Amino acid sequence: MKTIRTLACRLLFALAALAAVSAHAAPQEVRIASHVSALSPLHAQSELFAREIEKRLPGQFRFVLFPGGQLGKEKALITNVKAGSLEMINVASGVMKLDRKLGIFDLPWLFADRDHVRRAMAAGLEDEVRGRIEEIADVKVVGVYENGFRHVLNSKRGVNTPDDMEGLKIRVSGGKFRQGVFSNIGATPQKVAWKETFTALQTGVVDGAEAATYGFYEQKQYEVAKYLSLTSHVYTPSFLLASRAFWESMSPRQREVFSQVGREITEAAYEASAELEKKYFQEMKSRVVIHSVDLPAFQAATASSYDDYIAGQGEDWLEIIRRAR
């Protein structure tokens, strides 16, 4: 009996010692890398996520954010998180290149406004997209948020109708669907590195660029191109992704909290994006001429983009979006 009591005491002592060590263990470092700057909605989302995790799992993780492509361009970040050499990333357009069905987000005027996006995502689109990415990339989708609506800035003229785009050399990012949007309305899509776009505008290599509002603002492109047309031609989500290796290294409780937080901050992430966009428009409006556009005319001119997508990928995701309009 005495031996049993002695063993029990030793076991309790060992467990107490282990608990003490665990309580004082150094937090696990988690890098969240992005290809866009600290002025972007993506950076704000990463900060929001990190703060909320610290509230719920205090002292267990130390988040280090690397915006602005410090750890590589978007394609490299996606490759590295798939390989498990990065814990987490927050990226946007590059995810669409993983799979043709994800190219739906390159279709023109897919969403009427941010509220339409929210309704469609809540109606099942987000879960469909999450599942597709996880299947083809073998990563964990922690959150689906917003990179924003894209507009057109150019140095030649205000753009109100498709005819106004005729002959303009526009720096365009994204896949073939987005390239096709601009070809269909008479522009000439140009491939230029984002960091070289200011100089390209300044020297006339390109006449304009399409981007989210924060992109024009951070690059100060309004200094060399004064016509900003609010085309809202493409809406791009952002994707907070975790590597499988990192995800599986966490405890079940930690994974549960990460999943909960990833979804629960969605509304706050949308609100933060809207506020940033409002702020940047306000600061740019004294430097540019802002134009609204004839949206039905642009939609009619680019309708064939939908035919091509539907022929290859079907209409199931489009139906979710239509019902939410």
Q: At CA 280, angle to CA 274 and CA 286, rounded to 5?
A: 140
Average pLDDT score over residue span 1-27? 50
Q: Is the pLDDT of residue 1 over 60?
A: no
pLDDT of residue 173: 83
Share of the chain above pLDDT 90, in %: 81
* Gap between the Cα atoms of 114 and 158, Å rounded: 24
83 and 212 both lie in a single domain: no
Record the pTM.
0.88
Classify residue 180: in a domain, yes or no.
Answer: yes
Q: Any idea what the CATH number is for the domain that residue 28 is in?
A: 3.40.190.170
| Per-residue pLDDT tens digits for 158-189 | 999 999 999 999 999 876 777 878 988 999 99
82 and 158 both lie in a single domain: no
CA distances from 132 to 45, 48, 75, 140 (A): 22, 25, 18, 11
| Per-residue pLDDT tens digits for 247-286 | 999 999 999 999 999 999 999 999 999 999 999 999 999 9
190 and 55 both lie in a single domain: no
**Burial profile 286-306: b = 16 or more Cβ within 10 angstroms, e = fewer:** eebeebebeeeebeebbeebb
60 and 201 both lie in a single domain: no
